[in-house]
């Protein structure tokens, strides 16, 4: 999916530009009254008069520059993990409709047709049944990959264990899961191998 808004780096740059002149808005110290007249004294040529003192401007917290709160991003990452673990867990005994029903509540409406197509791939289902395959996926890592004001993409790394009549195999995979806000929560808008990006 194409980015629909500026990335976090662009947001940080924009904030930096907007605050570039902030120091000009600080109040300058009030001028002190002229000292009483005293005899002139000579100063060494090398000494310089101290400059005016200005208060340090604290940097804004990083969280205030993000389009979503840290708690909201944690919720998005948790949903991405649950969705991916469900996506990569299946059994030859499980009807495709049951696998699909487990994913649908977490998915945006725009993803439903792709999920239905994946659930009903006849060749894959026949192979699973012939070998009596069952897979269980466990999430091992979650990382924010892309962040815009309208979406977040989480890289989800899983370990998948497949049992079959031929034995047990274990493999690792990484998925790019893009989520969009929905009410007070999130919905999965896209899932694809992390190596393919989030297009």
pLDDT digits (tens, 9 = 90+) for 152-183: 999 999 999 999 999 999 999 999 999 999 99
Domain 70-196, CATH homologous superfamily name and number = VirB8 protein (3.10.450.230)
Gap between the Cα atoms of 99 and 30, Å rounded: 72
Percent of the chain with pLDDT over 90: 62
Q: Name the least confident of 30-34, 44-48, 113-117, 137-141.
A: 30-34
Distances (CA, A) of 28 to 19, 25, 52, 110: 18, 9, 8, 57
- Element spanning 193, H or E: strand 185-193
CA dihedral (114, 120, 123, 125) positive or negative: positive
Gap between the Cα atoms of 134 and 62, Å rounded: 44
According to the model, what pLDDT value does residue 51 have? 56
According to the model, what pLDDT value does residue 178 have? 97
Q: 122 or 10, which is more confident?
A: 122
According to the model, what pLDDT value does residue 50 have? 57
Question: CB 145: neighbour CB atoms within 10 A?
Answer: 17
Determine the 3-state secondary structure of 108 from DSSP.
coil
Gap between the Cα atoms of 187 and 199, Å rounded: 17
**Judging by beta carbons within 10 Å of its beta carbon (0-12, 13-18, 19+), is residue 186 exposed, middle or buried?**
buried
Question: CB 159: neighbour CB atoms within 10 A?
Answer: 15
What are the tens digits of pLDDT across the range 7-55?
444 333 333 323 333 332 233 344 444 444 444 444 555 555 555 565 6
What are the tens digits of pLDDT across the range 76-108?
999 999 999 999 999 999 999 999 999 999 999
């Amino acid at each position: 999916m194409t980015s629909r808004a500026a990335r976090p780096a662009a947001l940080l740059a924009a904030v930096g530009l907007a605050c570039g002149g902030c120091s000009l808005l600080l109040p300058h110290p009030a001028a002190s009254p002229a000292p009483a007249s005293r005899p002139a004294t000579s100063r060494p040529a090398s000494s310089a008069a101290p400059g005016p003192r200005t208060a340090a401007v604290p940097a804004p917290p990083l969280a205030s520059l993000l389009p979503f709160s840290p708690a909201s991003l944690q919720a998005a990452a948790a949903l991405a993990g649950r969705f991916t673990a469900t996506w990569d867990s299946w059994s030859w005994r499980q009807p495709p409709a049951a696998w699909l029903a487990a994913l649908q509540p977490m998915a945006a409406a725009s993803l439903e047709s792709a999920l239905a197509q994946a659930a009903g791939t006849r060749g894959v289902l026949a192979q699973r049944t012939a070998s009596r395959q069952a897979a269980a996926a466990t999430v091992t890592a979650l990382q924010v990959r892309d962040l815009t004001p309208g979406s977040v993409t989480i890289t989800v790394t899983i370990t998948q264990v497949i049992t079959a009549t031929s034995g047990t195999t274990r493999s690792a995979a990484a998925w790019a899961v893009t989520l969009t806000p929905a009410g007070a929560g999130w919905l999965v808008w896209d899932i694809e191998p992390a190596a393919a990006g989030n297009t």
